[in-house]
Chain A
């Protein structure tokens, strides 16, 4: 992978009072990669996402995105810079349809002011119409166009996950963070999801960082993997290296007594 570095975290640490949720995490992600972030529950994976997306400001360390320091920037501005995310517990806008959920992502880039919107002046209506077309196209690409006008929360679980990804894609990110996209899926659905993730990576020229517990998914599509345990990075490498790493096995299965 000779591509440029898109995201790097330089020893980021997050402390909540006395608890260190993430300690000195250094990630380097290159353009076009799919990277896995794994670890047992409470290892600090989501906290790491929250730092990258500006929900939390790291206690220490720096985050660089495309060479720019984004440490402590507000979430919405980071989204604007080109990092989008999904959530572990699905966070769709429950009062809206599938299409409306996706169209929210276009709001920040709308080039019109509220007055133009209220009076439905041409600049606003034109922009909205373009947004509408773009979002319908996006829904077509991810296979949700047939349910565009359904209420988002009426979709089956798998499609809700897909919609969350579509909604994130609509913000036109170059880096996409997926927080347990396969959670609650059966093997077939997981397989579909893997293909879907690869497809959108190629189609939308994305870089993907994902947290996942389903090992088939992680080992199947991630090019490199970082393993966290109690906030500490215990291993980094490709799937084969990770699978054979003694420390990783211990972290997942508990310490194996060797001097029996």
Chain B
């Protein structure tokens, strides 16, 4: 067993090194357009995986992801924009003095975006997590809308409906996928830990979980706010990627796309969310050509999607009606499977983590 464990650790490290090398290569050799799509894919991977934590692993059907993303995007934008561009952009109402002169480096701002979104997660979760199933869905959807409406109306902080522009841009694959890979590693470690099992126990049978001594509300809150934290991180990354944001971006439509990723990949499989996140992002861009053959270099956020969304809605319906497990069901990629196939260092005993 030790033998296999060390092989697996070595494989993981090798994989990470190769990944970093590939990202580095990509940064130097891919076109801006390709980089942009791959970076967008990293963002959707984070969104899909974190929503899967909430929906797939913890059994809470929350539809509030776009709201937390909105919080993260605005936090990161306000923290990283230069005081000069703030003065320029907030012309309806000046920004409140407290925020006028802050300018943080990108990484702390991103983490802060996650923290603020996580705090919103706690605030929303406190009332909402008393509800279940479709009531939870509609309440979280409501909260996401409320967040959006608040953002639209607190002009001296968010610049209201005009949105924010000139957000410092990040272009490197290493940056976006660095966050993407870290997110996956953290979520994987969490899901395979005692806490992850507690989440799954609550999902499987709430009453039995409580009878095992687990505080259902506390654990739901933990999972929900961790989900919100990563949604906030993804929101921040989104802000750096497109450099201008406004409240209409974070409508329910956005959450719909994340739900599609979670369902397509498999509710309860991080691997599935990673695959589906990449596939859906690329498909979204690819289908843009189908929809508007004229704007090949469509660099802006989609205006109003038509045909693409018809295809995605149909895809969601087909998956949920005929392939309810999605691509992966609840299975995960793991080295054991690879090693078993290759017949290397078989071990009977399972390990616990």
Contact = CB atoms under 8 A, between A and B. Distances in A.
Interface of A: 53, 55, 74-76, 79-80, 84-85, 87, 91-96, 99-100, 103-110, 114, 117-120, 124-125, 128-129, 131-132, 149, 167-168, 171
Given A114-B190, A117-B189, A107 B211 contact: no
B212 A104 contact: yes
Contacts of B193: 114, 117-118, 124
A105 B214 CA distance: 8
Most chain-A Cβ atoms within 10 A of its Cβ — which of B189, B198, B209, B352? Answer: B352
A103 B352 contact: yes
Interface in B289-306: none
A75 B208 CA distance: 10
Interface in B162-195: 186, 189-190, 193-195
B330 to A, nearest CB: 7
B212 A79 contact: yes
11 contacts: A74-B215, A76-B210, A76-B216, A92-B205, A93-B205, A104-B212, A107-B194, A108-B213, A109-B213, A117-B194, A117-B195
Contacts of B208: 87, 91-93
B189 A53 contact: no
B213 A118 contact: no
Nearest to B330: A95
Nearest to A135: B352
Given A79-B210, A95-B204, 20 more contacts: A75-B210, A76-B212, A80-B213, A91-B211, A93-B200, A93-B208, A95-B203, A96-B197, A96-B201, A103-B352, A107-B194, A114-B193, A114-B222, A118-B189, A120-B189, A120-B353, A129-B352, A132-B352, A168-B211, A171-B212
A114 B186 CA distance: 11
Given A100-B197, A117-B195, A105 B212 contact: yes
A76 B211 CA distance: 6
B99 interface: no
B341 interface: no
A107 B189 contact: no
Q: 9 closest A-B pairs (Cβ-Cβ)? A: A108-B213, A91-B208, A117-B193, A79-B213, A93-B204, A75-B210, A118-B189, A91-B205, A132-B352
B205 A107 contact: no
A166 to B, nearest CB: 12
Interface in B319-333: 330
A70 to B, nearest CB: 14
Count chain A CB atoms within 10 A of each CB in B205, B207, B209, B211 and give the residue with the most: B211
Given A95-B200, A120-B353, A104 B209 contact: yes
B190 A107 contact: no
A79 B211 contact: yes
B94 to A, nearest CB: 40
A128 B353 contact: yes
Contacts of A84: 211
A124 to B, nearest CB: 8
A110 B200 contact: no
A107 B350 contact: no
Contact of A76 (B190, B195, B215, B350): B215
Contacts of A75: 210-211
Contact of A93 (B195, B201, B353): B201
Contacts of B186: 118
Contacts of A95: 200, 203-204, 268, 330
Nearest to B186: A118
A80 B213 CA distance: 6
Interface in B236-286: 268
B204 to A, nearest CB: 4
Contacts of B210: 74-76, 79
B353 A76 contact: no
A110 B197 CA distance: 13
A201 B189 CA distance: 38
A85 B211 contact: yes
A117 B190 contact: yes
A86 B194 CA distance: 22
A96 B330 CA distance: 11
Nearest to A109: B213
B212 A167 contact: yes
Question: Which of A99, A107, A168 neighbours the largest number of chain B CB atoms within 10 Å of its CB?
Answer: A107
Specify which of B186, B189, B194 lies most central, judged by the most chain A CB atoms within 10 Å of its CB.
B194
Nearest to A105: B212
B197 A104 contact: yes
Nearest to B215: A76
Nearest to A113: B195
B166 to A, nearest CB: 36
A137 B213 CA distance: 21
Contact of B213 (A99, A100, A107): A107
Q: Chain A CB within 10 Å — which of B194, B210, B213, B215 has the most? A: B213
A75 B209 CA distance: 10
Contacts of A103: 194, 197, 352
Contacts of B195: 107, 114, 117
Contacts of A118: 186, 189-190, 193
A96 B214 CA distance: 16
A120 B212 CA distance: 23
A103 to B, nearest CB: 7
Nearest to A168: B211
Contacts of A124: 193-194
A53 B268 CA distance: 31
